[in-house]
Amino acid sequence: MPETHHSETIRPEARHAKAFSSLPLAAELLDNLESLGYLAMTPIQAASLPPILRGQDVIGQGKTGSGKTAAFGLGLLSALDVSRFQVQALVLCPTRELADQVAEELRRLARMLANVKILALCGGTPLGPQLNSLSHGAHVVVGTPGRIEEHLRKASLDLSSLAVLVLDEADRMLDMGFQAALEAIVAATPTARQTLLFSATYGDSVRPVAERMLREPVNVEVDSTHDERSIRQHFHQVADEPGRLAALSRLLLHYRPESSVVFCNTRRETQTVADELAAAGFSAQALHGDLEQRDRDQTLIRFANKSLSVLVATDVAARGLDIDALDAVFNYQIARELEVHVHRIGRTGRAGASGVACTLVTEKEAYRFERLEAFLGETLTLEPLPGRSTASREPFKPRMATLQIDAGKKQKIRPGDVLGALTNGDNALSGDQVGKIKVLDRSAYVAVERGIAQQALATLSAGKLKGRSCRVRRIGR
């Protein structure tokens, strides 16, 4: 199998923004892209879609938010033969959250294609309903490696007709120990398939895997560094380990970000830091691999709908988070891998918005700080922390609150039903007081302005959804 460095490399920065209409896509896909407001391609789409549509294998390097899901999504949807009710495309993701987001995006892209069935198969959810869904067939499966491998062992998933295999966030899947599962899954697919590998970094862990699984791939690289004007980086020296938490609190009180992520290097530390911040009055929650799936889902929903201000996370737990407007990133320590530092700070200042990235550095980390300087190719300055008067400010509260309703898709609840229940009747809210609405299988979550949370709770509790009374409660502080 030819090694990847023998293949063509495309750097999309040199290309001008191109319209999707310049691609040989089906009219239904183009019409749908226009209705979604997707007109010009992002750099990674412009560079990767032509070879993908030609059926070539592709290695795409790009961070979350670069538009890679639409790149491989349009490619695999174009390759489908909808009349054949067999699994023709498989997308593997490191986490359930990313898999759910990818499946949702693929459904949006496929809206105008007739009868395309897209199924998500992830761990952390019951196997029974998945077996039932699989028995009715699917065209596209999106899932986590552990659960896909389990379905293959049970012979409930047949990949013999697979045409396209996508490895999304390949570096994280390998970091999380999924290599054996990936090898087993690939062994169950036809050798003549098209393979698309997307990764934020393309280091020593990914390269040998890519060389085994891909044939003469086209390399597409999106520059992973960020525009100085969009992200302001600050490095602050702290005296010692105990000084980190006070420094973090002071930075939070100074910048007062509506949504921010604090990155820690260990699971235990995320929980400790989140607990300490919450005890100090901040709206903070930990996100790490030891959380129950239900708690993880609720934390992510609250963070996405602005009723939780500070997410304290490990890199693995935060991978695949789809956050469109993150005001600030705080590195509790410098990341162990320097590429990860760049990936962390890239989560703020997206889509042309400005962002702030602050990193705490102790004297013991001086060698790592110097390595980071060399890696970034620039001189980094250690700045003093904001003045002590900042520490006397009151911790800020989130703008929204989240209500949980004990009914969901299984009870035929849709977001419009929840909005209608809140904005009709005697105690009605206005539509602009209601934020994001997320409907899961057996529950629904709605964000409302914090000041009217009790009113909203009373309105939903007194009313009916789809003709039935539902239990409603407020989650989080």
Assigned token pair, 465: 């959804």
Assigned token pair, 261: 């992520």
Average pLDDT in the chain = 85
Residue 284 placed within a domain? yes
CATH of the domain at 439: 3.30.70.330
DSSP state of 138: -
Q: What is residue 224's predicted lDDT score, i.e. its pLDDT?
A: 47
Domain that holds residue 296: 231-392
Check residues 124 and 249 and name the one with the higher pLDDT.
249
Residue 159 placed within a domain? yes
Residue 28 placed within a domain? yes
The domain boundary residue, chosen from 197, 221, 245: 221
Is the domain of 336 the same as that of 362?
yes
Is the domain of 158 the same as that of 269?
no
Please name every residue paired with 357 in a beta bridge, in sequence order, or none if there are none. 233, 329
Is the domain of 428 the same as that of 376?
no
Query: Residues of 457-473 as b/e, b for ≥16 C-beta within 10 angstroms?
Result: bebbeebebeeeebebe
Indicate if the pLDDT at residue 1 is higher than 60: no
Categorize the per-residue pLDDT at 231 as very low, low, confident or very high, splitting at 50, 70 and 90. Answer: low
Is the domain of 161 the same as that of 124?
yes
Q: CB–CB of 327/318 below 8 Å?
A: no
Among the listed residues 324, 343, 327, the one whose alpha carbon sits nearest the alpha carbon of residue 335: 343
Q: Domains in the chain: how many in total?
A: 3
Is the domain of 217 the same as that of 280?
no
Q: How far from 352 is each of 226, 230, 322, CA to CA, in Å?
A: 10, 6, 16
Residue 226 placed within a domain? no
Is the domain of 216 the same as that of 236?
no
Q: CB–CB of 172/314 below 8 Å?
A: no
Angle at Cα 82 formed by Cα 76 and Cα 84, nearest 5°? Answer: 110
pLDDT, tens digit, 9 for 90 and up, residues 346-401: 766 654 456 788 999 999 998 889 988 888 888 888 988 888 777 778 888 999 99
Q: CB–CB of 217/56 below 8 Å?
A: yes
Is the domain of 129 the same as that of 159?
yes
Is the domain of 10 the same as that of 123?
yes
pLDDT, tens digit, 9 for 90 and up, residues 92-106: 998 888 888 899 899
Q: What is residue 342's predicted lDDT score, i.e. its pLDDT?
A: 78
Q: What is residue 226's predicted lDDT score, i.e. its pLDDT?
A: 45
Is the domain of 378 the same as that of 243?
yes
Residue 443 placed within a domain? yes
Q: How far from 190 is each of 72, 88, 117, 120, 127, CA to CA, in Å?
A: 19, 11, 21, 21, 25
Assigned token pair, 137: 């067939």
Q: Which uninterrupted H or E stretch holds 260?
A: strand 260-263
* CA 200, chain centre distance (Å): 12
pLDDT, tens digit, 9 for 90 and up, residues 6-32: 445 555 443 445 888 889 999 999 999
User: Pairing mode, if any, of strands 400-405 and 218-221?
Assistant: unpaired
CATH of the domain at 350: 3.40.50.300
DSSP state of 395: P
Residue 332 placed within a domain? yes
Is the domain of 203 the same as that of 145?
yes
Helix boundaries (H) for 16-67: 27-36, 43-53
Residue 274 placed within a domain? yes
Residue 90 placed within a domain? yes
Among the listed residues 404, 403, 413, the one whose alpha carbon sits nearest the alpha carbon of residue 468: 413
Is the domain of 351 the same as that of 464?
no
The domain boundary residue, chosen from 346, 370, 392: 392
pTM over 0.85: no
What CA–CA distance (Å, rounded) separates 152 from 147?
Answer: 9
Q: What is residue 324's predicted lDDT score, i.e. its pLDDT?
A: 53
3-state secondary structure of 83: coil
pLDDT, tens digit, 9 for 90 and up, residues 290-344: 888 888 889 989 998 899 999 999 877 676 565 656 789 999 999 888 777 877 7
Is the domain of 173 the same as that of 284?
no
The domain boundary residue, chosen from 354, 373, 392: 392
